[in-house]
Amino acid sequence: MLPIPTKFKLVAGSSEGSTLLNAFDGALLDAGAGNLNLLRVSSVLPPKAVYEENLFIPPGNLVPTAYGAIDSDAPGTVISAAVGVGIPNDCSFGMIMEVSGEFDKTTAEEQVRIMLAEAFKMRNKTLAEIKVKVVEHKVDKIGCVFAGVLLWY
List the catalytic residue out of 14, 15, 80, 98.
Answer: 98
List the catalytic residue out of 15, 43, 80, 100.
Answer: 43
Classified as helix, coil or strand, 143 is: strand
Task: Specify whether 98 is catalytic.
Answer: yes
Residue 39 phi, psi (nearest 5): -105, 110
DSSP string covering 24-65, please?
A: HHHHHHHHT-TTSEEEE--SEEPTT-EE-TT----TT-EEEE
Classified as helix, coil or strand, 23 is: helix
Task: Specify whether 37 is catalytic.
Answer: yes
List the catalytic residue out of 35, 37, 89, 92.
Answer: 37
Query: What is the set of active-site residues?
Result: 37, 42-43, 98
